[in-house]
Every structure is written in structure tokens, then in C-alpha cells.
């Protein structure tokens, strides 16, 4: 029956992560997968999350299905956090939000919704991007193309080329954008560049699909949402996929949201209905536990503040590690090759190492980064930063 089923080669990031787990070396270092580890190299449980869960234990009860669109108070906190408490479009009920299974689920539900109502459109993603962007949109039936983004030579952005490519797209093309902390390069647009890009998106009547998976890891929760909030202020219809996997350290609870900015409350109602229909035909309704945690934290002032402080500390720790590896590599690298460690933002940096150097880093020194040269700087800590820098210096020598 299943003779014709091909073997799945696996996802390169997850396979590398599994190989790391199997590596018997004591001093191995995992800078591959996009997960935030604390200074002891452990996956943190945030204190605000622990307290929310503890209080939830007191009112254990029946476990009915959630509505297809998700837990209503959760959908509201998603909007407040991503679009801002004071957002006019939110007050006017022009934003349609559903709870999703992480950011991935938001992308998938959004892609299915778009395929139904924009069947002729094509999708444009940055070169490079998170690999799953391509897979999700292709599986939803779209042709996926790339626009220029990363400049290998400088470790920066090819902004002019990016803008020119987007300026040449057909109306209603779908443009996938990373709001902050670009995965895999760590290279983001400045606010001034966002303004220029939004001019083009507006002029060309393009449809942005903003992916915000790292809110709070670039500068802070508000500044990291600049793109979403500015697109909203300027009235550009768009989709937004957000994730709490990283900023709540709730990876396995699958907490995310899909929001669509509409022109009227009535339009938002219809759009919400069709997003709900996309959920129904995928998995009927989302899980409860993670959504309750996030809602509890964000709606309890003391927990909300505790969470913001913890997230800010995580963001600072990453910035400190960027400086630490930068300083340790300064004897071996210079110019752009060195400054990218502090200029790039969020959990990832493109090191500029080639695949052969990455292989040597892993085989000889037990340091795991992706073959693209992407390093998860959120895996660095006070103990491993020196050996990592030394290993990089060796493979570059």
C-alpha cells in the first residue's frame, strides 16, 4: 500500500539538534536550534509562568473544547501585546484574531485563508528565510519566490535591492516579512527603512504577512512591534502571525495567534469567520493550557510586570553574549566579519562561516551551528563563550 511513500529526509535544524543530543562528548555546545537557554545552559521556566500555572492548579475543572477561534480573553491579550494597548484599529474592532498552534499554526491557517480568497496570488519571502515559510506556503498551494535581503559581503541588508524587487510585484502579491530578529540572519530593517517599505507596499497594493516570533528579543516589546504598529497606523491591510514560544519559553504548549487587520468591523467579522473555517478544516480547535497561562500572566498586573522584567533580562543576556563573543573574536576577526556579532539582533547571527568550516567546528570542537553559518547566540553563556570563540578562531586560521 505505502510502497511509493518516500523517506522523509528530516528537517535539517531538528536533525542537527537530535545529533547533538546523541553526541557523547561532555564539552559539546549547542548553538543550532532557535531556543533561548539561560546562563546555566538550561531551558528556562519563567517565574511568571510558574506562578500562573501554580494558581491555575487551584481551579482545575472540566476540560471542554475551546471555540474554534480559541480562548476569547487570550485573543484579546494577543491583540493588546502585538498591536498595542492603545491601538485605534483594535478599539474599532477592525482586527480579527484567532488563537493558533504557535507561530507555525498561524502561518498555516493564514496561508489556507489566503489561498481561498487570493488564489492567483504568489508569495514572496526573504532570501534567506526560516525554511518553514516556504514549506507552509507551498503546501497551502502557493508558488513561493524570494526577494533580496541579506548581503553576504557586509553581513547587512540589501535594502535597495529588496525595495526594488518588492516595487516590481503584481498587486495583491503576498509579502512575508519578519517584524524583528530576522531568522536566520539577525538583520532587521531600521524604522526609517520600514517607512520606505510601507510606502511601496501601499503604492503597489501588496499584502504583507508579518511574522513576529521574537517580540521582546530585539530591543523591547513595543519597539520590536514597530512594523506591525506602523502598518496598522497607516491602514495597510495585513496578516500578522505571532508566537509566544520564545518570549514565554512555552515552546511545547503551542501558543500563537493569527490577526488580520481589516478596513471595518463588519469586514473583520467576515474575515474572522473564514479564519475560523480554516481552523475547523485543519484541527477544529486549539488546546487550552498554554493559552490560559499566557492570559493569566498578561491580565494579572504583578505577573505581567514580572514577565516583562524576565523577558528584558533574557534580551539583555543575549546582548551581553554578543559583546562577549565579539570581544573574544576581536583578536582574530575585524571589520564587518566582527561587527556583525553586535550589529545583528535577536537570537541569531550569520557568522559568515562556510559549510566546511561549520563541519570542522562540529567535528573537531563539538560546537554545533547550522551549515548556513547561523549561530543561535541565545545558546551562548559565560562558560561556553570562550571555547566557542577559540573554536571559531581555529577553523578560521
- Which active-site residues does the annotation give? 130, 211, 246
Supply the angle between the helices 102-117 and 131-139 in degrees, to the nearest 10. 40
Cα–Cα distance, 304 to 302 (Å, whole number): 5
User: Does residue 366 touch ligand PLP according to CB under 6 A?
Assistant: no
Interface residue with ligand PLP among 102, 208, 346, 366 (CB under 6 A) is 102
Is 377 near ligand TYF (CB under 6 A)? no
Residue of 70, 84, 256, 290 that binds ligand PLP (CB under 6 A) = 256
Residue 247 sits in the site that holds ligand TYF (CB under 6 A): no
Q: Residue 379, interface with ligand TYF (CB under 6 A)?
A: no
* Residue whose CB is nearest to ligand PLP in the complex, by number: 102
Residue whose entry in the numeric block shows the C-alpha cell 526594488: 164
Report the residue from 70, 103, 257, 373 that binds ligand PLP according to the rule CB under 6 A.
Answer: 103
Q: Which of residues 264-323 bind ligand PLP (CB under 6 A)?
A: none
Q: In whole angstroms, what is the distance from residue 139 CA to residue 132 CA?
A: 10
Contact of 340 with 377, CB cutoff 8 Å: no
Q: Which of ligand PLP, ligand TYF, none does residue 33 bind to, with CB < 5 to 8 Å depending on kind?
A: ligand TYF
Q: Which does 366 bind (CB under 5 to 8 A by kind): ligand TYF, ligand PLP, none?
A: none
| Number of residues binding to ligand PLP, judged by CB under 6 A | 12
Q: Where would I find the H helices in the chain? A: 12-22, 47-57, 72-83, 88-91, 102-117, 131-139, 159-166, 191-203, 226-233, 265-282, 289-299, 301-329, 335-343, 355-365, 385-396
- Cell numbers standing for residue 287: 488546546
Q: Using the rule CB under 6 A, is 373 a contact of ligand PLP?
A: no
- Could you tell which of ligand TYF, ligand PLP, none binds residue 322, using a CB distance below 5 to 8 A set by kind? none
| Position closest to ligand TYF via CB | 34
Count of residues interacting with ligand TYF (CB under 6 A):
7
Return the sign of the alpha-carbon dihedral for residues 131, 136, 139, 144. Answer: negative
Phi, psi angles (nearest 5°) of residue 336:
-65, -35
Residues 114 and 120: their CA atoms lie apart, in Å, by 10
Strand partners for 174: 123, 207
Q: Which residues pair with 96 in a beta bridge?
A: 260
34-53 residues in contact with ligand PLP (CB under 6 A) are: 34
Judge contact between 217 and 183, C-beta under 8 A: no
Shorter beta-carbon distance to ligand PLP: residue 243 or 357 = 243
Q: Per-residue string for binding with ligand TYF, 14-43, x by CB under 6 A?
A: x------------------xx---------
Smaller CB distance to ligand PLP: residue 84 or 256?
256
Beta strands at 144-148 and 123-127: parallel, antiparallel or unpaired: parallel
Q: How far apart are CA 67 and CA 291, in angstroms?
A: 12
Q: Among residues 33 and 174, whose Cβ is nearest to ligand TYF?
A: 33
Instruction: Determine the Cα–Cα distance for residues 83 and 90; give it in Å rounded to an integer.
Output: 8
Q: Which of 173, 215, 243, 259 binds ligand PLP (CB under 6 A)?
A: 243
Q: Which residues bind ligand TYF (CB under 6 A)?
A: 13-14, 33-34, 104, 130, 183
Q: Which residues bind ligand PLP (CB under 6 A)?
A: 34, 102-104, 130, 178, 183, 211, 213, 243, 245, 256
Amino acid at each position: 500500500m505505502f510502497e511509493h511513500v518516500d523517506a522523509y529526509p528530516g528537517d535539517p535544524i531538528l536533525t542537527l539538534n537530535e545529533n547533538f543530543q546523541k553526541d557523547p562528548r561532555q564539552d559539546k555546545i549547542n548553538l543550532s536550534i532557535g531556543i533561548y537557554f539561560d546562563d546555566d545552559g538550561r531551558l528556562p521556566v519563567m517565574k511568571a509562568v510558574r506562578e500562573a500555572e501554580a494558581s491555575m492548579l487551584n481551579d482545575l475543572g472540566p476540560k471542554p473544547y475551546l471555540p474554534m477561534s480559541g480562548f476569547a480573553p487570550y485573543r484579546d491579550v494577543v491583540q493588546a501585546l502585538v498591536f498595542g494597548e492603545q491601538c485605534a484599529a483594535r478599539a474599532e474592532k477592525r482586527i480579527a484574531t484567532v488563537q493558533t498552534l504557535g507561530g507555525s499554526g498561524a502561518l498555516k491557517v493564514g496561508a489556507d485563508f489566503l489561498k481561498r480568497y487570493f488564489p492567483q496570488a504568489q508569495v514572496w519571502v526573504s532570501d534567506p528565510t526560516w525554511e518553514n515559510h516556504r514549506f507552509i506556503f507551498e503546501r497551502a498551494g502557493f508558488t513561493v519566490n524570494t526577494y533580496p535581503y541579506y548581503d553576504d559581503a557586509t553581513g547587512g541588508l540589501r535594502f535597495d535591492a529588496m525595495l526594488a524587487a518588492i516595487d516590481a510585484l503584481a498587486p495583491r502579491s503576498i509579502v512575508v516579512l519578519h517584524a524583528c530578529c530576522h531568522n536566520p540572519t539577525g538583520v532587521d530593517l531600521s524604522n526609517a527603512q520600514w517607512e520606505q517599505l510601507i510606502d511601496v507596499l501601499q503604492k503597489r497594493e501588496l499584502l504583507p504577512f508579518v511574522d513576529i516570533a521574537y517580540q521582546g528579543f530585539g530591543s523591547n516589546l513595543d519597539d520590536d512591534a514597530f512594523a506591525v504598529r506602523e502598518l496598522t497606523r497607516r491602514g495597510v491591510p495585513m496578516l500578522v502571525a505571532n508566537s509566544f514560544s520564545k518570549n514565554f519559553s512555552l515552546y511545547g504548549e503551542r501558543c500563537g495567534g493569527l490577526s488580520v487587520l481589516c478596513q471595518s468591523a463588519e469586514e473583520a467579522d467576515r474575515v474572522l469567520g473564514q479564519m475560523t473555517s480554516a481552523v475547523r478544516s485543519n484541527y477544529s480547535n486549539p488546546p487550552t493550557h498554554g493559552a490560559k497561562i499566557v492570559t493569566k500572566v498578561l491580565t494579572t498586573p504583578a505577573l505581567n510586570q514580572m514577565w516583562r522584567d524576565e523577558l528584558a533580562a533574557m534580551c539583555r543576556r543575549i546582548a551581553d553574549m554578543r559583546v562577549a563573543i565579539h570581544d573574544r573574536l576581536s583578536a582574530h576577526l575585524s571589520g564587518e566579519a566582527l561587527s556583525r556579532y553586535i550589529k545583528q539582533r535577536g537570537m541569531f547571527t550569520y557568522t559568515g562561516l562556510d559549510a566546511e568550516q561549520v563541519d570542522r567546528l562540529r567535528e573537531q570542537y563539538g560546537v554545533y551551528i547550522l551549515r548556513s553559518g547561523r549561530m543561535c547566540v541565545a545558546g551562548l553563556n559565560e562558560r561556553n563563550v570562550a571555547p566557542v570563540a577559540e573554536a571559531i578562531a581555529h577553523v578560521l586560521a
